[in-house]
Structure 1
């Protein structure tokens, strides 16, 4: 079936204009240039056009156009009679297309199914009988934090219509006229914006629900407050709103806002339920029942997150008008699973029809993350048994569309829902030709608390990258890494190129690019760093230390850039979290593996903190080996706040050194705290109390730790600066570094940390030398020198038993490895060649044989 240049449309006086507009768009996109509209059932005209090889499109269900039923009969397809609301029949064959909804919304949905079928401009004959399983399907804008813009909301409403979702609950916490100023009327300009949203919702067959939250200050027994509620609702009714909600969540129900409520209702949960039912019943009677055409009133109870019966729920169950719909989040504020049994229990315990407020993909509690995985963990019977589900989205409106697409898909036909297939369809819908790049980006922002609760696993981010990494490590250990490395590198390259591909291919969606920009950049940088990590480890596998050291430098540069990215969160600036629990652990493991190959201990401590970051003084600076740099919090520590390090795995530890404060703010340290360690992050052992800015402490013999932290046990007015946080293991060698040219961090030349740097302040002059001294003389197998850059030359020497120096070779480039033939010594010297550039040494490594 091909759409010709001229098409005849047969419509009725009641045909939905919004459905008709979609049909016209589909036909013109498929090649039609002229659309002739006929009203009624002019069968002769229709037959003549069909006889000429044309195309006739019938638009309208039984209540819209009588002609469509004749077309369906000719096609031998039953009509939509008897289907649930939103159901439709769509059929095509022999020059006829018929769209017939059981109601106007059904015809609108039929039009959008037609759009999906004609994406290529052609289609085979088809017959579809389709309907939604859930009566209410949509989104509740109910998150805390940065609000959606007006343009975001308009675009969302178009998206809901296109994906056959029929409900949008307006409940943004940023709107003061919803909560703090709920009694006040909207200014005309803001009411006009709401009117535009209502109109756009109507055009998309979306029920716009206005949710007023008076619980912070309402007096339940007050006639004035009831009147204020009704008056506010009337102002919204006048601009076209027909659906209303009164959420009473996130408030205290043990404290009254007026003495009159205490006198009328008493105290306790039962009193709170009775008071809320009293107010809701009055609004139901005085406003909803008094306005023909109003949808059922909705409420969010204060106990919205469990199934345990209580005096509060008993009061609602027995006293609240049965017409009111109760919203519920499942078992838990964020429910890992919602079963049909739980849904039935919710209806029983609340005694009312239930609409699920589903807190996915909302990220206001973890704003450094994007939650781009599919909708999972809900049994099919949930959608059919209850009134419906509204998904609470992310702060990022465009990025929310991936999860919203899949939740809408589930709610339409849960029995056939395939989360993986739906997720891929959502990505294709959002990104079009660059869907492969968006898939790579999304699967590295895939996991969420919902996923972790539903699966019982700690995290499932990066589901494609994770097994590739496992295969690579296994192949490297088994001595045959080439194929696994090639597979991994291809994916890491896709990660590194995805941001550029998306920025080019999704240029028509600048909002998505703007709101995901930091995460895009980070995924790209992690891909770059990962590719360098693979090349580094392969170079070491081949014995090429110079290439391994060069790749290590590129890896660290990309990693530092990724970890320097910041996004604003409710807890202050934070590093965006992509590829969670996968990318950074892999890169740290790769660096630790490489450093052990170079001859270093291979400890890669990662900073941890419950505090935010002031400007660019990142947590990473307290583990960079440079006391001139520092982490600086964005507020004073409170009791329970902590700062520390994560060693990656539990391992023996022997000593810790911590330097807090700085010359310009010497009091920025933990004044009352405790130094403690843990192998699992749950069970902690105290080492000593903390009252001073500098801490040096030994761990008990045999201590093993993954985590070491300083935890505040009091309150203070001073912020926190941590210059260095260093943990030593029993096997960590210790060296003394002396020499010239002078530099601000001479000790960094042999501190077991290849990321720290000794940078001389000037080029060397005759006699300048750098001396690294061990605690005792030992047989020396080789000396490795890791220089930040080539240019500074030196004779590499070792001390003999008589105190003289013996040259074993030259240091000229970035990587130098020289055999020492087992000579017994305790000192290595770099005797600088005068002139040239100022030396920059990451590490001098005396590789003692025992």
Structure 2
């Protein structure tokens, strides 16, 4: 079963550089990834300062990246998080939003995701308020695909604890209120779902009256706890049979752009092979393709320590030993491992609150 695959750069902490994004698109585009949604939590002009216009230098970088995507037939999109706009969709807000949409059009976006995550949502008419905003945006953007992320984008009760109790029948009301052309994001039974089943996705699709646009939070490793781990293993719990229940499958990658390619290649293989997919064999093939045989062999050797154990369970002496080993490899992925070992990718709770 085929499914449209793409990347959503939607993690907290240090974002990828423009060069890293461009390299990722050029590598992954020909290998099955057909769209890229730029939505890093660290970009203030898409999040807490969304009302402020992009400075020209940053707008140019966005425009250049869009051109790089088009060169390899990858759809270019942006995720805009208009913080708490559903609490005050007034004239001033509409003026600011009009200006930001014009800038994104100038950057050449083909996809626009309006993201209502990471903000309070405990109001009874939330679905109607958000649908109004999305429908207002629709005719004011040149993007050919419009996507929205609900405030409650998973069954996971952690969202209710952090952002207030979700309104009753929120998903069903959203499905009724939104025009059928609007795609709706969903992360699954949990924010970071271990698996997806056709039954679960079919139920959500019935509530939303459309197939969900999957936001898959693997191999993302942001947050104070997850940033201590390197998520390198092949995808599991995503059988190819889920493809018929999705409008698209977007992967939120890890903070390490080159290492992320390993699991991402395995997801494409899972869809391609269907029931013939074998996750460890897929991991080995992907690791060799991304890293070369020698470095791949070293990563396999350290997989338990990196993904299961984590950096905080390594002694200082062991971290130094591993840093010296990976310094022998002249490869960007080895430098990512060294950076992770040194704590360069560690994320604090403060970043989760301020980005």
TM-score (norm 2): 0.84
Q: For residues 201 and 566 of structure 1, what CA distance do their matches in structure 2 show?
A: 31
Unpaired segments ≥5 residues, structure 2 = 157-165, 314-318, 350-355
* Aligned mate of 1:249, from 114, 117, 124: 117
* Aligned mate of 2:298, from 406, 414, 437: 437
Superposed displacement of residue 356, structure 1: 0.7
Distance 1:212 1:231, change over 3 A: same
Matched, 1:321 2:159: no
Superposed displacement of residue 217, structure 1: 4.6
Q: For residues 436 and 251 of structure 1, what CA distance do their matches in structure 2 show?
A: 43
Report if the CA contact (8 A) 1:219-1:225 is conserved: no
Unpaired segments ≥5 residues, structure 1 = 1-131, 255-267, 450-460, 462-494, 521-564, 573-850
Q: Deviations over 1:692-722 (max 9, x none)?
A: xxxxxxxxxxxxxxxxxxxxxxxxxxxxxxx
Q: For residues 438 and 376 of structure 1, what CA distance do their matches in structure 2 show?
A: 19
Matched, 1:273 2:136: no
Superposed displacement of residue 214, structure 1: 0.2
Superposed displacement of residue 448, structure 1: 9.2
Report if the CA contact (8 A) 2:269-2:277 is conserved: yes
Superposed displacement of residue 173, structure 1: 0.6
Report if the CA contact (8 A) 1:437-1:501 is conserved: no
2:30 corresponds to which residue?
162
- SS at structure 1 position matched to 2:37: strand
- SS at structure 2 position matched to 1:140: strand
Matched, 1:300 2:133: no
1:193 corresponds to which residue?
61
1:570 corresponds to which residue?
347
Q: For residues 447 and 327 of structure 1, what CA distance do their matches in structure 2 show?
A: 29
Superposed displacement of residue 500, structure 1: 5.9
Superposed displacement of residue 566, structure 1: 5.1
Report if the CA contact (8 A) 1:160-1:206 is conserved: no
Q: Deviations over 1:736-760 (max 9, x none)?
A: xxxxxxxxxxxxxxxxxxxxxxxxx
Matched, 1:421 2:281: yes
Distance 1:447 1:356, change over 3 A: farther
Q: For residues 13 and 237 of structure 2, what CA distance do their matches in structure 1 show?
A: 26
C-alpha RMSD of matched pairs (Å): 2.8
Report if the CA contact (8 A) 2:11-2:220 is conserved: yes
Superposed displacement of residue 225, structure 1: 2.5
Q: For residues 569 and 337 of structure 1, what CA distance do their matches in structure 2 show?
A: 26
Superposed displacement of residue 501, structure 1: 6.3
Q: For residues 334 and 199 of structure 1, what CA distance do their matches in structure 2 show?
A: 32
Q: For residues 241 and 89 of structure 2, what CA distance do their matches in structure 1 show?
A: 39
Superposed displacement of residue 498, structure 1: 7.6
Matched, 1:287 2:140: yes
- SS at structure 2 position matched to 1:297: strand
Matched, 1:345 2:213: no
* Aligned mate of 1:379, from 239, 264, 278: 239
Matched, 1:516 2:337: yes
Q: For residues 339 and 89 of structure 2, what CA distance do their matches in structure 1 show?
A: 49
Q: Deviations over 1:451-483 (max 9, x none)?
A: xxxxxxxxxx9xxxxxxxxxxxxxxxxxxxxxx
Matched, 1:144 2:4: no
Matched, 1:237 2:97: no
Report if the CA contact (8 A) 1:143-1:395 is conserved: yes
Superposed displacement of residue 496, structure 1: 11
Matched, 1:174 2:42: yes
Superposed displacement of residue 203, structure 1: 1.3
Report if the CA contact (8 A) 2:22-2:68 is conserved: yes
Superposed displacement of residue 517, structure 1: 0.8
Report if the CA contact (8 A) 2:86-2:126 is conserved: no
**Which structure has the bigger radius of gyration?**
1
Q: For residues 442 and 167 of structure 1, what CA distance do their matches in structure 2 show?
A: 29
Distance 1:184 1:355, change over 3 A: same
Alignment of 1:422-821 (within 5 A): 422-434=282-294, 435-447=296-308, 502-504=326-328, 506-507=329-330, 509=331, 511-517=332-338, 569-571=346-348
- SS at structure 2 position matched to 1:569: coil
TM-score (norm 1): 0.37
Report if the CA contact (8 A) 1:251-1:302 is conserved: yes
- SS at structure 1 position matched to 2:265: helix
Q: For residues 10 and 94 of structure 2, what CA distance do their matches in structure 1 show?
A: 23
Q: For residues 30 and 277 of structure 2, what CA distance do their matches in structure 1 show?
A: 18
Q: For residues 414 and 237 of structure 1, what CA distance do their matches in structure 2 show?
A: 38
Q: For residues 405 and 378 of structure 1, what CA distance do their matches in structure 2 show?
A: 13
Paired positions, count: 330
Report if the CA contact (8 A) 1:180-1:216 is conserved: no
- SS at structure 2 position matched to 1:196: helix
Matched, 1:133 2:2: yes
Q: Deviations over 1:624-664 (max 9, x none)?
A: xxxxxxxxxxxxxxxxxxxxxxxxxxxxxxxxxxxxxxxxx
Distance 1:353 1:238, change over 3 A: same
2:263 corresponds to which residue?
403
Matched, 1:362 2:220: yes
Q: For residues 373 and 214 of structure 1, what CA distance do their matches in structure 2 show?
A: 34
Report if the CA contact (8 A) 2:326-2:338 is conserved: no
2:160 corresponds to which residue?
none
Report if the CA contact (8 A) 2:213-2:250 is conserved: yes
Distance 1:220 1:417, change over 3 A: farther
Q: For residues 66 and 112 of structure 2, what CA distance do their matches in structure 1 show?
A: 13
Q: Deviations over 1:85-113 (max 9, x none)?
A: xxxxxxxxxxxxxxxxxxxxxxxxxxxxx
Alignment of 1:193-212 (within 5 A): 193-212=61-80
Q: For residues 189 and 337 of structure 2, what CA distance do their matches in structure 1 show?
A: 31
Q: Normalized per residue, which structure has more helix?
A: 2
Which of structures 1 and 2 has the larger relative contact order (alpha carbons within 8 angstroms, sep 6+)?
2
Distance 1:172 1:571, change over 3 A: closer
Report if the CA contact (8 A) 2:34-2:75 is conserved: yes
Report if the CA contact (8 A) 1:340-1:380 is conserved: no
